[in-house]
Every structure is written in structure tokens, then in C-alpha cells.
């Protein structure tokens, strides 16, 4: 199964597989997304497979949203690696906040 990205305004559905050989298509689709939009919702429920390249591509969108103060949401359970990636970032940020308070 290939990668399919459907969109309706700020809502994007990603279906199929997001891996090394097609991640460039995903990156191209979202390259300047925050130049045109205030926020983005990414539904990954239909994503059957994702590798570390796909995870990094989604993380890049997340980082850009934070740096540009834009809304970014992910819908769907997706992949445990993706969940763990963002959970790790959240844990580090919470730890940095605690250290900053001390």
C-alpha cells in the first residue's frame, strides 16, 4: 500500500505507509504548511506502517508548529514508536520546567 494524504482545510488524513522511500512526498506536502495555515490536524488512523523516517517527518512538523506558535494535533493511535517519541519529548520538557523552577 502506498502513501495517501487527503485534506479538507486544516484536517489531513494520512493512509498507507510512511517510510524511508516515500517520506519525501510527505515532507513536500507539509513543507510550507504553516505559511498558509494557523493550525493543522493530522489523522494517522489509516497509517498501517511507519518507520523512523516517518516519525522524524511528523516530529519536524511538530517542532515547526511549536517554534511558529501554531496549533498541531495528531489523531489516532498510530505507532507505539511515534507515541513514545512524543511522550519522551513531553517528559524532557516537564523535567526542564522543574529544573528551571529550582
**Per-residue pLDDT tens over the stretch 27-74:** 999 999 999 899 999 999 898 888 889 999 999 999 999 999 999 998
Per the CB < 8 A criterion, the answer to whether 30 and 61 are in contact is yes
The secondary structure of residue 51, as a DSSP letter, is: -
pTM of the model: 0.77
89 pLDDT exceeds 70?
no
Could you give the domains of the chain?
4-101 (3.30.750.24)
**What distance in Å separates the CA atoms of residue 22 and residue 43, rounded to the nearest whole number?**
18
| Cβ atoms 83, 44 nearer than 8 A | no
Block residue for cell numbers 520546567 = 97
DSSP-assigned beta bridge partners for residue 16: 47
User: Which carries the bigger pLDDT value, residue 25 or residue 84?
Assistant: 25
Amino acid at each position: 500500500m502506498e502513501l495517501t494524504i487527503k485534506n479538507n482545510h486544516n484536517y489531513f488524513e494520512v493512509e498507507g505507509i510512511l517510510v524511508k522511500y516515500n517520506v519525501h512526498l510527505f515532507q513536500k506536502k507539509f513543507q510550507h504548511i504553516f505559511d498558509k495555515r494557523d493550525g493543522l490536524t493530522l489523522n494517522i488512523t489509516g497509517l498501517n506502517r511507519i518507520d523512523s523516517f516517518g516519525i522524524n517527518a511528523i516530529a519536524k512538523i511538530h517542532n515547526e508548529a511549536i517554534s511558529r506558535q501554531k496549533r498541531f494535533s495528531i489523531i489516532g493511535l498510530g505507532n507505539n514508536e511515534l507515541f513514545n517519541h512524543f511522550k519522551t519529548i513531553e517528559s524532557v520538557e516537564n523535567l526542564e520546567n522543574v529544573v528551571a523552577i529550582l
